[in-house]
């Protein structure tokens, strides 16, 4: 009985995932195509202007059609849709980049993706874990001086956009003290390889971007955990735990933390989208060669296919991460694992 | 038989601070609980019973505070102990069966874990022995052993209540305080719980204080009863005597409002319960008392001994 | 509305007012500080034309080449000038005005949509709820900012109302969620059942019974929407997207980044936009948290039994 409901739940959840994924990428696709203006035309005009050619309409027409074929922009919306997704799903072909022609988009993305995933993973894990732990402690000690100070600080920091913190950090550490590098993932003098020097260099370059994300994220999780802790402290089972005369650390960990963890995991899944958004901007500020930087530069240069590829991949990554988080939830909440009466 | 004092509450006051003033929920309460008895504390909702229990156990949280009073247990004033000393006394000597026991179990850990943690935090016995102890307690309260491996949401209300009681007696305390132990249970489960509480006294010699607004509860298991009204105790005595011969008008009103099979009407107590923010002057019951006199309106009656076993706070009982 | 209801309405309005005043007197410190900062910012934004008139005369602060470029802060130019010779203080105030304006307009629009949807979703329940809730969750979970960015790439010129509209379309789910949650929990409360029994119409139930308890959450919803709108808008401007005819704090940051102001350490170019932005976010956040602390029953301190 119990196992059957769990499997049903799992299947339903995966079904939702596929449905959401499909709708999201379709919406993104349609947004692209519906936007006024002819990107190819604009691009070709740009090219011609760059080369200081006169804009010859006949030649332009021919060129535009050529490009359209190459970039899969022929035919009406439905044809383009089917064509695009056929390429993506079966051939892993996301098209060709305008700007870095003829580099395929997927190559650009594969180069950039690891940096973003690495940055996001370590910063999210750090800020979520640390933020939650500090939040519990502060919530437990609510009303004390420590609580007021920490919470006030956290309140101030939690609402500052990541990129502003990034800017301030750069000012402080690059300009004023010159201790940390302002851009890139690794020094231009080094070549990517599996060596200690390289890893240290990468870590060195990752400090400021990570800090920008962690400082703000930590404060956010701190605050939400604290208010969760405060509400759980009002619960009957917490009162009972105290009446039982349990030791403080046991109440904190097994009664407070274990119960507050569950909503925070859900909260993580929900916040993932905006964390990614923020991270992209931070990458831009630091010229960190991840998806964010790729996306923003592509936007600036109207690199159609790359923009599209980035958006698709971002949606896919975020939704998959959320699915994974959601799947781990029943492992921790016995009320779902063993559906009761 | 010599009666030994186990718990003595002296002039306890528990107030709640708010922007509109102090809520004087418990306003100068004194009573004694003797070893080996079942003492009932009865009264309407809002009279301060649960706050009294919280006060005794040291579970009052801000904005509640204790302006004065003593709670003497085994020679020590519980209110003056450090939090660590109080923690050690909790559960080993004084246990608590809370109101709304349904929600008193941690939803994410197993029953067995929740029973064991209090044992482990108070003694030096091993985990395995603690587990055996917990299982034997479950049997004593009439629950199957399988319950230990389950999670709270898999149990019914009555079973959860029994688990709480089993946890409470795990370390065989001297005193168990039960706050509304039968509210939210169906009648059959209620009877079972009450029998269980009664057996604590009879089989193990544990002193039980039961707080409830339901007279049926008191009638079934109490030895002595204390009636609370408006933050004060108004009458104390052996249960049979108080039922047969209530001295305080409030007690009289309460008893006559219990539905009796055969009687065709219930007489209630007119008026509404007063607010702790603004207790009436003089005797707090005077606005609702059919016998109120001028003295009752102005002078507060003190709980005085009526005869060797009965106490009452009323000007009219002399 | 019959006479009874009209009488109730009058009584209710009086209740709102008295309760409102009582509540203001009960304000906790966070709320007060937040409102104070908010007041200062609004004052600056509203007085911006006056202040800039005083500094620059009739010239618009975004006109380049008025003063010498890259001047250090001095008595004439309290924050110095930027690369194109614009007075930084005037420029920052100008940016503040527009950031704030767009935030408020988009925020109110967004929260209006969110409140209506959240309300219908929570109150009607059933199929309406299922559909609306799915859409709301969908929009919260999916990173919609890239899609907004795509739209912004192609829109080079837009009026404020249009921009606010688009921002509202992307940020309404934030308040919808909160309102729906609150309506759901209120629906369970006994006074709604009581009102139903006494034959009040749906409309009357909503306004006389539910509204007073939802108002603070509407406040929180508005706060979240404004924050969301300003975040989105600034995020777009910083990377150079968004309508080129509107200059907001985000635009100023973008220009600064473009000059390499950060690397060169021209803190005077950055300080005002950064401080103003932080103040906007901070003030709305404090107001939100303050409102939450006052009205959230779980965080409220319990009195009596």
For each of the domains in chain B, give its residue range(s) and CATH number, in order of start: 5-93+176-312 (3.40.50.300), 103-172 (no CATH)
pLDDT attached to residue C302: 33
Report the run of H or E that residue B91 belongs to, with start and end: none
pLDDT at A16: 87
The pLDDT of residue C195 is: 64
- Listed range (B20-34, B141-155, C26-40) with the worst mean pLDDT: C26-40
Bridge partners (DSSP) of residue A254 are none
Query: C residues 79-138 near B, CB within 8 Å?
Result: none
- Is residue B285 within 8 Å of B274, Cβ to Cβ? no
A24 shares contact with chain C (CB less than 8 Å): yes
Q: Flag the least confident range among A267-281, B140-154, C51-65.
A: C51-65
Query: Distance between CA B197 and CA B210 in Å, rounded?
Result: 9
Residue B163 neighbours by CB under 8 Å, 6+ apart:
B105, B111, B114, B115, B138, B141, B143, B147, B152, B155
Give chain B positions within 8 Å (CB) of A250: 117, 121
C-alpha–C-alpha distance, residues B225 and B204, integer Å: 21
Name the maximum alpha-carbon separation found in chain A: 87
How confident is the model over A296-326, as pLDDT tens digits? Answer: 888 877 777 788 888 888 888 889 998 888 8
What is the residue extent of each domain of chain C? Answer: 87-280
Select the more confidently predicted residue: C59 or A35: C59
- In contact, C285 and C223? CB cutoff 8 Å: yes
* Residue A221 pLDDT class (50, 70, 90 cuts): very high
| Residue range C287-302, pLDDT digits in tens | 888 777 777 655 444 3
How many angstroms away from the CA of B89 is the closest CA of chain C?
A: 26
Q: What is residue A222's predicted lDDT score, i.e. its pLDDT?
A: 93
Residue that wins the pLDDT comparison between C298 and A130: A130
Say how far apart CA B255 and CA B266 lie, in whole Å: 10
Average pLDDT over residues A267-271: 88
**Per-residue pLDDT tens for A282-297?**
998 888 888 888 888 8
CB contact under 8 A, B104 and A240: yes
Instruction: Tell me how far CA of residue C155 lies from CA of B110, C99, C241, C245, in angstroms.
Output: 58, 18, 8, 11
Q: Cβ contacts (< 8 Å) between C153 and chain A: which residues? A: 35, 299, 302, 307
Instruction: Give the Cα separation of B256 and B145 in Å (integer).
Output: 44
Q: Which of A168, A162, A296, A215 is nearest to C262 (CA)?
A: A168
pLDDT for the residue numbered A131: 93
User: What pTM was computed for the model?
Assistant: 0.81
The pLDDT assigned to B209 comes to 92
What burial class does residue C23 get, using C-beta atoms within 10 Å of its C-beta: 0-12 exposed, 13-18 middle, 19+ buried? Answer: middle
B229-245 mean pLDDT: 88
Nearest-Å Rg of the Cα atoms of chain C is 23
**Chain C positions in Cβ-Cβ contact with residue A273 (cut-off 8 Å):** 140-145
Check CB contact of A262 with chain C, cutoff 8 Å: no
Provide the total of helices (H) and of strands (E) in chain C, helices listed first.
12, 0
- Report CA Rg, chain A: 25
How close, in Å, is residue A127 to chain C by CA atoms?
20
d(CA A209, CA A133): 23
- How far is Cα C98 from Cα C60, in angstroms, rounded to an integer? 14
Q: Residue A134 has what pLDDT? A: 92
* Domain map (residue ranges) of chain A: 2-91, 106-332
Of C154, C270, C292, the CB nearest to A37: C154
Architecture per CATH, C87-280: Orthogonal Bundle (1.10)
Output the average pLDDT for chain C. Answer: 78
CB-CB under 8 Å, A258 with B154: no
Whether residue A13 is predicted with pLDDT greater than 50 in this model: the reply is: yes
Asked whether the beta carbons of B111 and B159 are under 8 A apart, the reply is: no
In the prediction, which pLDDT does C305 show?
Answer: 22
E-strand ranges in chain B read: 5-18, 21-34, 38-42, 64-73, 76-77, 94-97, 175-179, 207-212, 224-229, 232-238, 304-305, 311-312
Question: CB neighbours (10 Å) of residue C196?
Answer: 12
For chain B, the first-to-last Cα distance in angstroms comes to 29
Structure tokens at B79: 């209110």
Which DSSP category does A161 fall into? -
Question: Can you tell me which residue has the tokens 């307009």?
Answer: C105
Strands B232-238 and B224-229: antiparallel
- What number is the ipTM of this complex? 0.85
Taking residues C158-166, report their average pLDDT: 83
How far away is chain A from the Cα of C65, in angstroms, using its nearest Cα?
Answer: 26
Answer whether residue B62 shows pLDDT above 80.
no
Q: What is the CATH number of domain A106-332?
A: 1.10.3720.10
Extract the tokens encoding A54: 């006169």
CA A272/CA B165 separation, integer angstroms: 44
Under DSSP, is residue C74 helix (H, G, I), strand (E, B) or coil? coil
pLDDT of residue A30: 79
Instruction: List beta partners, residue B14.
Output: B26
Q: What is the mean pLDDT of residues A40-69?
A: 64
The nearest alpha carbon in chain A to B123 belongs to A246
């Amino acid at each position: 009985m119990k196992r059957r409901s769990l499997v049903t739940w799992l299947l339903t959840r995966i079904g939702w995932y596929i449905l959401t994924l499909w709708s999201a990428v379709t919406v993104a696709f349609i947004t692209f195509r519906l936007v006024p203006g002819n990107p190819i035309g604009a691009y070709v005009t740009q090219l011609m202007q760059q080369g200081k050619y006169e804009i010859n309409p006949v030649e332009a027409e021919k060129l535009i059609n050529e490009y359209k074929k190459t970039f899969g922009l022929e035919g009406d919306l439905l044809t383009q849709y089917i064509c695009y997704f056929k390429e993506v799903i079966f051939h892993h072909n996301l098209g060709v980049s305008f700007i870095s022609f003829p580099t395929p988009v997927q190559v650009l993305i594969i180069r950039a993706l690891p940096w973003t995933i690495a940055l996001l993973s370590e910063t999210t894990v750090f800020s979520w874990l640390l933020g939650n732990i500090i939040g519990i402690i502060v919530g437990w000690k609510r009303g004390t001086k420590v609580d007021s100070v920490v919470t006030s600080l956290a309140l101030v920091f939690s609402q500052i956009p990541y990129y502003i913190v990034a800017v301030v950090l750069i000012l402080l550490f690059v300009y004023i003290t010159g201790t940390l590098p302002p851009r890139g993932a690794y020094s231009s003098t080094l070549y990517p390889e599996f060596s200690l020097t390289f890893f240290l260099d990468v870590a060195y370059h990752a400090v400021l971007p990570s800090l920008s994300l962690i400082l703000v994220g930590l404060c956010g999780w701190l605050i939400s955990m604290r208010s969760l802790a405060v509400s759980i402290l009002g619960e009957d089972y917490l009162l009972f735990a105290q009446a039982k005369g349990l030791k403080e650390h046991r109440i904190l960990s097994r009664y407070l933390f274990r119960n507050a963890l569950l909503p925070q995991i859900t909260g993580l899944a929900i916040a993932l989208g905006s964390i990614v958004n923020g991270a992209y901007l931070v990458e831009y500020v630091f010229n960190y060669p991840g998806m964010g930087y790729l996306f923003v530069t592509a936007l600036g240069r109207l690199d159609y296919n790359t923009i599209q590829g980035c958006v698709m991949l971002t949606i896919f990554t975020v939704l998959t991460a959320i699915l994974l988080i959601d799947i781990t939830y029943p492992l921790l909440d016995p009320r779902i694992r063993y559906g009761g009466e | 038989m010599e009666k030994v004092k186990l718990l003595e509450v002296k002039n306890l006051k528990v107030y709640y601070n708010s922007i509109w003033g102090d809520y004087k929920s418990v306003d100068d309460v004194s009573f004694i609980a003797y070893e080996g008895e079942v003492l009932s504390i009865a009264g309407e909702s809002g009279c301060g019973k649960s706050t009294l229990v919280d006060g005794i156990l040291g579970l009052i949280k801000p904005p509640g505070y204790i302006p004065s009073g003593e709670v003497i247990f085994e020679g020590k004033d519980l209110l003056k102990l450090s939090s660590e000393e109080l923690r050690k006394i909790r559960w080993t000597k004084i246990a608590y069966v809370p109101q709304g026991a349904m929600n008193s179990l941690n939803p994410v850990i197993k029953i067995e874990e929740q029973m064991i943690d209090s044992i482990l935090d108070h003694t030096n016995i091993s985990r395995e022995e603690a587990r055996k102890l917990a299982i034997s307690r479950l049997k004593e309260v009439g629950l199957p052993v399988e319950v230990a491996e389950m999670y709270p949401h898999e149990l019914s209300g009555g079973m959860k209540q029994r688990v709480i009681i089993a946890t409470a007696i795990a370390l065989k305390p001297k005193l168990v305080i039960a706050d509304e132990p039968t509210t939210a249970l169906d009648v059959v489960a209620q009877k079972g719980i009450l029998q269980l509480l009664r057996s604590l006294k009879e089989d193990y010699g544990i002193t039980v204080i039961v707080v409830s607004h339901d007279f049926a509860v008191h009638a079934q298991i109490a030895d002595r009863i204390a009636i609370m009204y408006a933050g004060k105790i108004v009458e104390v005595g052996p249960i049979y005597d108080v039922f047969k011969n209530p001295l305080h008008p409030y007690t009289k009103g309460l008893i006559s409002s219990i539905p009796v099979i055969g009687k065709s009407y219930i007489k209630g107590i007119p008026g509404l319960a007063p607010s702790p923010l603004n207790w009436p002057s003089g005797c707090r019951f005077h606005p609702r008392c059919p016998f109120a006199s001028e003295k009752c309106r102005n002078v507060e009656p003190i709980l005085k001994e009526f005869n060797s076993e009965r106490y009452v706070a009323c000007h009219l009982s002399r | 509305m019959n006479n009874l209801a009209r009488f109730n309405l009058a009584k209710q309005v009086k209740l709102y007012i008295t309760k409102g005043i009582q509540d203001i007197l009960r304000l906790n410190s966070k709320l007060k500080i937040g409102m104070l900062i908010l007041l200062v910012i609004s004052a600056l934004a509203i007085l911006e034309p006056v202040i800039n008139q005083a500094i620059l005369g009739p010239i618009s602060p975004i006109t380049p080449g008025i003063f010498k470029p890259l001047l250090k802060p001095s008595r004439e130019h309290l924050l110095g000038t930027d690369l194109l010779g614009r007075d930084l203080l005037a420029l920052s105030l100008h940016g503040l005005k527009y950031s704030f304006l767009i935030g408020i307009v988009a925020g109110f629009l967004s929260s209006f949509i969110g409140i209506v949807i959240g309300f219908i979703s929570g109150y009607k329940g059933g199929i309406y709820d299922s559909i609306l809730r799915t859409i709301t969750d969908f929009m919260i979970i999916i990173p919609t900012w890239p899609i907004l960015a795509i739209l912004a790439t192609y829109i080079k010129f837009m009026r404020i109302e249009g921009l606010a509209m688009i921002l509202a379309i992307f940020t309404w789910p934030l308040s919808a969620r909160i309102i729906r949650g609150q309506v759901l929990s209120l629906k369970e409360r006994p006074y709604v059942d009581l009102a139903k029994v006494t034959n009040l119409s749906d409309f009357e139930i909503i306004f006389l019974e539910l509204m007073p308890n939802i108002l603070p959450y509407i406040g929180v919803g508005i706060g979240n929407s404004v924050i969301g709108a300003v975040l989105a808008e600034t995020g777009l401007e910083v990377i150079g997207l968004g309508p080129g005819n509107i200059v907001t704090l985000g635009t100023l940051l973008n220009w600064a980044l473009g000059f390499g102001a950060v690397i060169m350490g021209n803190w005077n170019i950055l300080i005002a936009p950064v401080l103003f932005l932080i103040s906007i976010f901070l003030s709305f956040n404090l107001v939100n948290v303050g409102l939450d602390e006052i009205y959230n029953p779980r965080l409220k301190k319990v009195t009596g039994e």
